[in-house]
A and B are shown apart, each in its own frame.
Chain A
Amino acid sequence: NAGVTQTPKFQVLKTGQSMTLQCAQDMNHEYMSWYRQDPGMGLRLIHYSVGAGITDQGEVPNGYNVSRSTTEDFPLRLLSAAPSQTSVYFCASSYNRGTDTQYFGPGTRLTVL
């Protein structure tokens, strides 16, 4: 199993540009989520999904959209990038609505100029 994969690893955007961060898992996990990590602030939950077709907001959802058309994929869309979205983004998955161990991807380092 590849586990949780994320692409790209690094990305630089200009303010106002849009892009999609990709996340995929091959463990048939129901639950997938997106976190962002900023210096001195730990990880904060952006959006999560408890299964295909079901998504909801986390702690810091503004400026981000998600969808879950398949069990395997959970892309995160930045609609109009802002410098405040400069961060490292991690995707995670687990079997059962997050009650089991969550497995994290390697992260995407995003810089918005």
Chain B
Amino acid sequence: DAKTTQPPSMDCAEGRAANLPCNHSTISGNEYVYWYRQIHSQGPQYIIHGLKNNETNEMASLIITEDRKSSTLILPHATLRDTAVYYCIVRVAYIQGAQKLVFGQGTRLTINP
């Protein structure tokens, strides 16, 4: 399974862009990169995903390098409610055609007022 490496913690000022890096140097060509976040002890919440093109939705942007060995999640205008643990995940094919999310340790993002 492809593994991801993230910094254990980051800080960001409220209203600024939060840029969360992720390394996934062993990712295979057909494996997607997903980002989830977990606020307090709630269930993980989906943010965004991509294969090789940059993606944007109402929550965030995902920038994937051309060689796909790393990516960056961007929260354009961070708020206090964005304080959470952010997981960069590689979705890998599993048996019976199912997929599984391989969770790493995540980055604890703290948004400061």
Contact = CB atoms under 8 A, between A and B. Distances in A.
B111 to A, nearest CB: 22
Nearest to B32: A99
Contacts of A31: 98
A52 B44 CA distance: 24
B99 A98 contact: yes
A74 interface: no
B112 interface: no
B43 interface: yes
Interface string A73-96: 000000000000000101010000
B98 A107 contact: no
Interface stretch (A14-22, A37-45, A61-69): A37-45
Interface residues of A, number: 29
Contact of A99 (B45, B99, B105): B99
Given A56-B95, A56-B96, A107 B105 contact: no
A42 B4 CA distance: 12
Most chain A Cβ neighbours within 10 Å, of B43, B44, B87, B103: B43
Given A4-B43, A105-B43, A97 B106 contact: no
A43 B95 contact: no
Contact of A43 (B98, B99, B101): B101
Most chain B Cβ neighbours within 10 Å, of A35, A41, A43, A107: A43
B38 to A, nearest CB: 9
A99 B49 CA distance: 11
A42 B97 contact: no
Contacts of B100: 33, 45, 48, 58, 98
Given A50-B96, A102-B46, 11 more contacts: A31-B98, A43-B44, A56-B96, A58-B100, A88-B41, A92-B43, A97-B96, A98-B94, A101-B46, A103-B46, A104-B45
Interface of B: 41-46, 49, 87, 91, 94-101, 103-106
Interface of A: 4, 31, 33, 35, 40-45, 48, 50, 54, 56, 58, 88, 90, 92, 97-99, 101-107, 109
